[in-house]
Amino acid sequence: MLAIAWGLWLGTVQTQAQRPEGIDSDFQTSAPNWSEVKADGTYGIQFACIKAAALDEGFSNAYFSARMSGAQAVGIYTIPYYRCDPSVYEPKTEAQFFWNWAQTNLTAGGYNLSPALDVEDGLTTHYTNDTGGSISLTGWCNEWFNDVSNDAATAGVHLKQITYVNAGSSCDLSSSINGYGWIAWTNCAWPYNSGEEQTGTPWCQDTGCEIYGTGAWTIWQWAWPPETSSPMTGLKERVDQDVYNGTLSQMIAALGTTGTAPAFTLTPTNETIVAGGTLVIPATVFGTAALGYYWTNASNGTLLASGTTNGTTLNSTLTVGNVPESWNNEILKLMVTNAWGSTNVSVEISVTPLVLNMTASTNGLLQLNWGSGATLQCATNVTGPYSTVTTASPYTVPMTNAQMYYRLSL
């Protein structure tokens, strides 16, 4: 990212910052010592913006995954960012390029903050939407986020929109831009060691372009170290410096990724079964991984089945063989949980006895009746072989000169 200023890079003893301090780069030069990075400077580093990809540059950061996990391992929050060229590509093309590369590192919660769109290239007056029509730059950015957000939602992850733009270029956007603004302007914080980032604002100039509202900003890229400066402790490259407009807890609440609580896509229903039969109850649940499930007999608290899945879709089918007649009116309960919530459903079981009743029909023929779930079979010999007659009760026995034997089978 480009933001020009000159100054001296100094580090001092870490103290607690009101505004969380961060850095941004593609981190290509060498592996950072993230523990040293976290402790660097007056206030310490609490978040890192890490470049994932740029389609117009043909760039996919080979170190992206390692840099994301390395920073998070020491407690640094991460913002993956994507540099776009809206004058060349449709939003969906750029969104898919970003998602295909970054998706394994865009998870819910933890030290994950939402991705940012870096808007610096291709700032012309003509942009194309996902259907080939003309669109404003603001519309293009909003559509890019919607495309990425939809992809993330299929993985159970919910994102917030962050757009990076230089303060001097922010007039290319409008107040219709959604989400949060990451504003770059270094001349407001001179010199770099003044602590101005803790009290200042990126809107010291270009105040007519405050697209998020008068004086409003979320992240400020306040410093770009000159070539004469030394890299930060723990790094072998000079990086941009950033600050969040609020406290750490406010940053997490505003920009953090969130997950999807479990929800049934196939909800179990009450079941009727013949005593001695096999009970099969299917259920499907969508939610952010990992999903844990528990089938219990709610009447007596007995655990019937449990397990977990690391995917976003849980297929849980409860199978119970030789169901006793004593289970009639029992309530079975399925509970599904993840880090974002839980859902449950209760299923009432009706058990009918395995009894073949005989009555006389109005025309004098013999009629057989039985509970649902059983199959009527017949044979000319008590030992069989038996063949299926029907599963539909009642059944009227036809007149015949042969002796017939009937039985129920599950």
For the segment 44-82, what is each residue's pLDDT rounded down to a tens digit? Answer: 899 999 999 999 999 999 999 999 999 999 999 999 999
Q: Give the mean pLDDT of 334-354.
A: 95
What superfamily in CATH does domain 263-352 come from?
Answer: Immunoglobulins (2.60.40.10)
Predicted pLDDT at 190:
63
Q: Which of 30, 21, 75 is nearest to 237 (CA)?
A: 30
Check: CB of residue 197 under 8 Å from CB of residue 186: no
Task: Report how far apart, in Å, the C-alpha atoms of 363 and of each of 359, 367, 398 are.
Answer: 11, 10, 11
Predicted pLDDT at 228:
57
Helix (H) or strand (E) holding 302: strand 302-309
Identify the band that residue 189 occupies on the pLDDT scale cut at 50, 70 and 90. Answer: low
Residue 2 has pLDDT above 50, yes or no: no
Predicted pLDDT at 9:
29
**Minimum mean pLDDT range among 6-20, 64-78, 205-219:** 6-20
Count helices and strands in the chain by DSSP H and E runs: 5, 29
Predicted pLDDT at 192:
59
CATH number attached to the domain at 21-258: 3.20.20.80
Identify the band that residue 13 occupies on the pLDDT scale cut at 50, 70 and 90. Answer: very low
Residue 399 has pLDDT above 90, yes or no: no
Predicted pLDDT at 193:
57
The length of the chain, given as a count of residues: 410
Q: What does the angle CA 148 – CA 53 – CA 174 come to, to the nearest 5 degrees?
A: 55
Q: Which of 182, 165, 184, 181 is nearest to 223 (CA)?
A: 184
Predicted pLDDT at 347:
97
Q: Cα separation of 275 and 271, whole Å?
A: 12
Structure tokens at 295: 């089938």
Predicted pLDDT at 30:
78
**Phi, psi at residue 117, to the nearest 5°?**
-100, 120
Q: Give the mean pLDDT of 184-193.
A: 69
Q: Give the mean pLDDT of 346-361.
A: 89
Boundaries of every domain in the chain: 21-258, 263-352, 357-409
Check: CB of residue 285 under 8 Å from CB of residue 312: no
Check: CB of residue 268 under 8 Å from CB of residue 367: no
Letter for the amino acid at 403? Answer: Q
Q: Give the mean pLDDT of 344-360.
A: 91
Predicted pLDDT at 15:
46
Q: Give the mean pLDDT of 324-334.
A: 95
Residue 148 has pLDDT above 60, yes or no: yes
Q: Give the mean pLDDT of 365-373.
A: 84
Q: Give the mean pLDDT of 139-161.
A: 97
**Minimum mean pLDDT range among 77-91, 308-322, 354-368:** 354-368
pTM of the model: 0.81
Check: CB of residue 341 under 8 Å from CB of residue 331: no
pLDDT digits (tens, 9 = 90+) for 236-276: 788 889 999 999 999 999 999 999 999 999 999 999 988 88
Predicted pLDDT at 53:
97
346 or 224, which is more confident: 346
**Minimum mean pLDDT range among 160-169, 189-198, 272-281, 311-320:** 189-198
Q: Are strands 263-266 and 284-286 parallel, antiparallel or unpaired?
A: antiparallel
Residue 140 has pLDDT above 50, yes or no: yes
Q: Give the mean pLDDT of 19-27.
A: 91
3-class DSSP state of 179: coil
Q: Give the mean pLDDT of 145-157.
A: 97
